[in-house]
Amino acid sequence: MFRIETEKEFLSAFRSRDRKHVELPKGTCFPLFVRDYLSWVDPYGVRVFLVFTAPGSKRPTGIAFRRDQQGDKILTPRVCDWCRSPGTSDQVGLLTTDVDSKRRVGVNLCLDLRCNEKLEAAANMTGRSVLDDTQRLIERMARFANEALGIEFSPET
């Protein structure tokens, strides 16, 4: 669990290129307590936002994704790269984000980034604890942020 004290701290979790797109989830109050991570979709359904804390880091990291495959009507099954949940293309699809002004990267993910809820539902059905799965999920988020976007995680606050 982590805590975000102010809106300023919340926004500073995002890279400056993402920050201008960020719209806080409706009804957000500070301080904000986050159990695993925070994800939400903007009111237009175009952007999906993620705020998480990388293992060993004290600062939250935010990423703004864009849904680039709207209008894909073929319901082919896919698997989310982060939680490994299967879904049709209206549930799992390509989310993209800027690396820099010239490059974008895409990754196949749950389009609402509610990976933790899917893991929890799957764990409930088998009676397992969801903690390890959630840990792995956050590690995959951190690896993507680091390897694809070059975001560094510093242990300092």
Q: How far apart are CA 22 and CA 47, in angstroms?
A: 9
Give 39 or 57: the residue with its C-beta nearer to Zn ion: 39
Q: How far apart are CA 67 and CA 50, in angstroms?
A: 13
Q: Confirm or reject binding of residue 115 to Zn ion (CB under 5 A).
A: yes
The least CB distance from residue 39 to Zn ion, in Å, is 10
Q: Confirm or reject binding of residue 110 to Zn ion (CB under 5 A).
A: yes
Give 99 or 122: the residue with its C-beta nearer to Zn ion: 122
In this structure, the number of other CB atoms found within 10 A of the CB of residue 77 comes to 10
Q: How far apart are CA 56 and CA 143, in angstroms?
A: 13
Q: Confirm or reject binding of residue 119 to Zn ion (CB under 5 A).
A: no
Q: Is the Cβ–Cβ distance between 107 and 81 less than 8 Å? A: yes
Q: How far apart are CA 148 and CA 118, in angstroms?
A: 24
Q: Confirm or reject binding of residue 111 to Zn ion (CB under 5 A).
A: no
Stretch that binds Zn ion, among 18-26, 27-35, 36-44, 84-92 (CB under 5 A): 84-92
Task: State the residues that interact with Zn ion by CB under 5 A.
Answer: 80, 82-83, 85, 110, 115
